[in-house]
């Protein structure tokens, strides 16, 4: 099996990705666990989180009510039968900045790569980039020798909030990853251009793939799925030279989005498909992607 998206984006991870994952949204605590061979889901649970307890942000506190969140996470893990000491933590997309850069000549020195990336994003992020948590990966080399890179950045203090939450439960956060990238771990882009749309309580994200490569990502708050997809389609056509998407995949935590799906189909002239595995509710997809679930 080819390397998953997490393999390609995370700069350095432990030798073994955790077998359990927990996602925190503004409404939910979502837990999933898989077998040691990662080919069977052995537990999954979605619980409610007290309002305003968690809110993804790059500039403000993410976990506003630490005690309520800790209690909710502890209860969810107990009910799901969590039996490990390490976990993958899926954080809201709002807590991470995802961007793309092109490097004319990519250094082979990881420290020089990080220095360049920090300089490149210094004036475009609303936090101190010098102390930020950074992960990056080369997406491919162009004919002119330049390299396209996918970069994720988040304030170190934000990542520590989530790590500290699980530390208080004597659980090590072995991997911290934004929700959309975790969900994309279950997505295999087709040869044709494709659009991935993820609808979560916190925000809606759109991701473009061309020739199997991630080319564009956008995060929007307070809009309908179509309102999120339309400007991305325009960008695809105007800036990326795209003609027509061959596939539209939708992952939504809300089971009642039939009207939104119909609007997407009519206005984009594409039949929306669900993210695999279709036998599992979408609310668990990011958590399953976070543990590298390979089959059901």
Residues 6+ apart with CB under 8 A from 105: 145, 146
Fold of 5-94+156-181: Nucleotidyltransferase; domain 5 (3.30.420)
- 16-32 pLDDT, tens digit per residue, is 799 999 999 999 999 99
pLDDT at 101: 93
* Alpha carbon 172 to its chain's center: 20
Domain ranges of the chain: 5-94+156-181, 96-153, 190-274
- 111-145 pLDDT, tens digit per residue, is 999 999 999 999 999 999 999 999 998 888 888 88
Contact 228, 197 (CB under 8 A): yes
Q: In angstroms, rounded to a whole number, what is the distance separating the alpha carbons of residues 81 and 286?
A: 19
Fold of 96-153: Dna Ligase; domain 1 (3.30.1490)
Asked whether this chain's domains 96-153 and 190-274 adopt the same fold, the reply is no
Instruction: Single out the residue of 121, 295, 147 nearest to residue 213, CA to CA.
Output: 147
For the whole model, what pTM was predicted? 0.91
Fold of 190-274: Nucleotidyltransferase; domain 5 (3.30.420)
Q: In angstroms, rounded to a whole number, what is the distance separating the alpha carbons of residues 1 and 180?
A: 21
Residues in the chain, pLDDT under 50: 1-15
| Strand 247-252 to 194-199 pairing | parallel
């Amino acid at each position: 099996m080819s390397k998953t998206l997490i393999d390609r984006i995370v700069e350095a991870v432990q030798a073994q990705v955790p077998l359990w994952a927990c996602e925190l949204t503004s409404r939910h605590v979502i837990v999933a666990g898989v077998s040691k061979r990662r080919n069977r889901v052995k537990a999954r649970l979605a619980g409610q989180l007290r309002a305003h307890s968690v809110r993804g942000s790059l500039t403000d506190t993410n976990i506003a009510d630490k005690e309520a969140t800790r209690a909710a996470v502890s209860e969810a893990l107990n009910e799901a039968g969590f039996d490990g000491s390490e976990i993958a933590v899926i954080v809201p997309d709002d807590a991470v900045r995802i961007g793309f850069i092109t490097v004319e000549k990519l250094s082979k020195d990881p420290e020089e790569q990080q220095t360049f990336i920090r300089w490149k994003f210094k004036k475009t992020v609303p936090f101190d980039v010098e102390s930020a948590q950074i992960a990056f990966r080369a997406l491919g080399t162009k004919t002119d020798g330049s390299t396209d890179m996918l970069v994720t950045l988040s304030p170190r203090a934000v990542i520590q909030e989530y790590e500290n939450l699980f530390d208080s439960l004597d659980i090590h956060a072995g991997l911290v990853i934004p929700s959309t990238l975790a969900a994309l771990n279950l997505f295999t882009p087709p040869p044709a251009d494709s659009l991935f749309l993820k609808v979560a309580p916190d925000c809606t994200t759109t991701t473009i793939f061309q020739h199997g490569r991630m080319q564009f990502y956008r995060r929007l708050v307070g809009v309908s799925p179509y309102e999120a997809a339309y400007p991305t389609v325009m960008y695809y056509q105007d800036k990326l030279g795209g003609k027509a998407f061959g596939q539209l995949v939708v992952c939504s935590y809300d089971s009642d989005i039939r009207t939104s799906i119909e609007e997407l189909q009519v206005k984009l002239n594409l039949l929306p498909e669900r993210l695999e595995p279709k036998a599992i509710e979408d609310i668990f997809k990011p958590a399953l992607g976070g543990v590298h679930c390979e089959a059901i």
